A = this chain, B = another copy of it.
Amino acid sequence: MAGRDLTRAAAEALDAADPLAGFRERFAIADEQLIYLDGNSLGRLPLATRDRLAALAAEWGERLVSGWHDWIDAPRRAGDLVADLVGARPGEVVVCDSTTVNLYKLCSAALDARGHGTLATDRDNFPTDRYVLEGLADQRGCALEILESPGVLPDALIVLSHVDYRSGALADMAAVTDAARRVGSTVVWDLCHSAGALPVQLRGAGAELAVGCTYKYLNAGPGAPAFLYVAHELHDDLRSPIWGWFGQRDQFAMERDYEPVAGVERFLAGTPTVLAVAAVEEGARVTAEAGTDRLRAKSIAQTELAIALHDAWLAALGFELGTPREPERRGSHVALRHPDAWPINRALIERAAVIPDFRGPDTIRLGVAPLYTRFVDVWDALDRLRALVERGEHREVDAARGRVT
């Protein structure tokens, strides 16, 4: 980055040349002064989603129960849109339930089918993933192995995040999946921090199972239903532990014993939340229109800018980069570590109109969502962060709350 032009004008020039710049207009931006770098926690509202929700409420009011003729396929329809973004085939993804519930279903099914006696995940995986595995280990009397380094894989059912929720580190899905297969393991990938932000290649990597969230980079709204992926080859052998009527063959022939439907829909359980699934469709659609390759290129350029500004301005203020420097090894957020990360994060929100988020013990995450984040947003956020820490404003915030830094 030596000699890189780090002026605001240079950031403006990047925006002017950005082929995705127009997508920002497709989102609700209530406050242009607010810099939102937490799309990796909750993505912004697409205007199409706002309109779709209103239309769908009207449709419910008008069509009443007959609306189900169209709604009933929503989990699969939204799933096919998501499949296209994560390198899966049509019929390999459904949108339903939460990431947690989906992870439970897939892990339970894989344990039954493959007979693994051990569960494993890496130490830094997102808590709910760990909790699901702790629960399954407890219920089934399995061992739960916490991996210090994902480089050495045990013979186990392994849950790994594609992008680490804290550091932003991006795993090599193909290499890990291959290494796992060679030791007889099954990997369930958690795509919460990669789906919609970069071109995931599930089939290309040989991945068998995955879950992911839609309310981050897929912009489907707070708590929107999640998705799950099961490679076609596994459909016949895997069964959800939760036998429900939306996974039943010939659903409305109500007198039969349970027999799961042939495809990935066997992992559906209860009635899908129609309005919420429609929001996933809209979020996936605008993402597909931009294209994950272009989103990835812009995301890399933006995280590169953030890292360059960190090096130029923040390293001297006690910050340390928590994210890999190699673009191919990181997702779409940059982790900045600082001993005062918590009060700095609060001060950014309360005094500088920048919304990052804090992840303990010492990390501020700056997420770029290339559908709507501008290069000047990255520049301004780092500039405000620098100024705030230079002035020591985070110490005032902290003192005002009576907390010890």
Residues of A bordering B, CB below 8 Å: 27-28, 30-31, 36, 38, 41-42, 44-45, 49-50, 53-54, 57-58, 60-62, 64-68, 71, 97-101, 104, 112, 126-128, 130-132, 134-135, 139, 213, 215, 221-226, 240-248, 253-258, 269-277, 279, 349, 355, 357, 359-360
Contact = CB atoms under 8 A, between A and B. Distances in A.
B64 A36 contact: yes
Given A139-B241, A215-B271, A245-B128, A254 B57 contact: no
Contacts of A244: 98, 100-101, 104, 128, 131-132
Nearest to A41: B65
B270 A100 contact: yes
A41 to B, nearest CB: 5
25 contacts: A36-B64, A45-B57, A53-B53, A53-B54, A53-B57, A57-B221, A60-B222, A65-B355, A66-B349, A67-B222, A71-B223, A98-B272, A100-B244, A101-B269, A104-B241, A104-B269, A130-B258, A131-B243, A131-B244, A134-B257, A135-B258, A222-B273, A223-B276, A224-B273, A226-B270
Given A97-B101, A135-B240, 8 more contacts: A27-B61, A30-B62, A45-B60, A98-B272, A101-B101, A101-B270, A223-B272, A254-B360
Contacts of A257: 134
A357 B38 CA distance: 46
A65 B357 contact: yes
Scoring A31, A36, A279 by chain B CB atoms within 10 A of each residue's CB, the highest score goes to A279
Contact of A276 (B50, B246, B273): B273
Contacts of A71: 222-223
A62 B222 contact: no
Nearest to A46: B61
A273 B101 CA distance: 13
A58 B62 CA distance: 23
Nearest to A274: B222
Q: How many copies does the complex hold?
A: 2
Nearest to A50: B57
A359 B128 CA distance: 40
B135 A243 contact: yes
B221 A53 contact: no
A134 B216 CA distance: 36
Given A57-B53, A241-B135, A269 B44 contact: no
Given A65-B38, A223-B271, A360-B255, A131 B97 contact: no
Contacts of A240: 135
A377 to B, nearest CB: 13
Given A28-B61, A53-B275, A275-B276, A127 B248 contact: yes
